[in-house]
Amino acid sequence: MINKKIALAAAVAAMFAVPAKADMLGLYVGAQGWQNEANGGFAEEANVLDFSFEDKTNASFYAKFEHPLPLIPNVRARTGKLEADGQTRLTSSFTFDGKTYSTGTDLDTTLNFTNSDISLYWELLDNDIIGFDFGITAKYLSGDFNVDDGSGNLSVEDASLWIPMGYLAAKVRLPFVGVYAYGDANLISYDDNSIHDYEVGVGYDIIDNLAVDVAITAGYREVKVELNDVDDIYANLDFSGFFAGIEVHF
């Protein structure tokens, strides 16, 4: 049902999408360094235990292909890491991967996840001042949860899922100065699972000519993941923080 609703909305949007400006073929590639703080926890039951994580810098990369054809979607592919580690002193016993850790244990916890997605989107509005895009995204989360008491008792559980999401993006540009503000978001909620991934930022064109455009960007990004019995894992995790990046437009 969720897939049908998203697909129908995307089809309707595509039918009525009449860009104010027809772009030529364009390829965008970009990279970001994201200094994020991780909060939350995970468990093999609905009573999720919160852990302490240290701040970490994660990298992400993306590419976009845009064209002037009105009904055929543009494409964005993006991949990055969601990694965190830290140590927590247990205030109650904790069972994971068949091992039970007693109260008072200093438990090392590590998250290693790949966060990848591909989006098909249409430019509902595209001119020199304002842009607005709408589309659909297929997101893939895959990785593992690790806990270790430092005495050889290591527990590892894997989890992965594909999930369809809605996609929205907007950009507002100040004319003649090369400065713009933008935001984009992917979000979905179903069966007590929810994921949202959004960022807002500003950019500045440091090179702008017929051959290539180069912009530097900075902003804030948040990825929030709530899993309900996905591969026998329950999780409530939030990754958020500031980023800096670069984008090249050919």
Q: What does the alpha-carbon distance between residue 125 and residue 127 come to, in Å, rounded to a whole number?
A: 7
The phi and psi torsions of 149 (rounded to 5 degrees) equal -90, 5
Those residues of the chain that have pLDDT short of 70 are 1-23
pTM (2 d.p.): 0.85
Q: What does the alpha-carbon distance between residue 213 and residue 218 come to, in Å, rounded to a whole number?
A: 17
The tokens 């958020």 sit on which residue? 240
What's the pLDDT at 20?
Answer: 40
Residue type, position 29, single letter: V
Query: What is the span of the domain harbouring residue 88?
Result: 2-249
What's the pLDDT at 164?
Answer: 93
User: What is the H or E stretch that residue 161 is in?
Assistant: strand 154-174
In CATH, what number is assigned to the domain containing residue 27? 2.40.128.90
Count how many domains the chain has.
1
What's the pLDDT at 183?
Answer: 98
DSSP 60-117: EEEEEEE-S-SSSPEEEEEEEEEEEEEEEE-SS-EEETTEEE-TT-EEEEEEEEEEEE
Could you tell me whether strands 74-89 and 94-96 are parallel, antiparallel, or unpaired per DSSP bridges?
unpaired
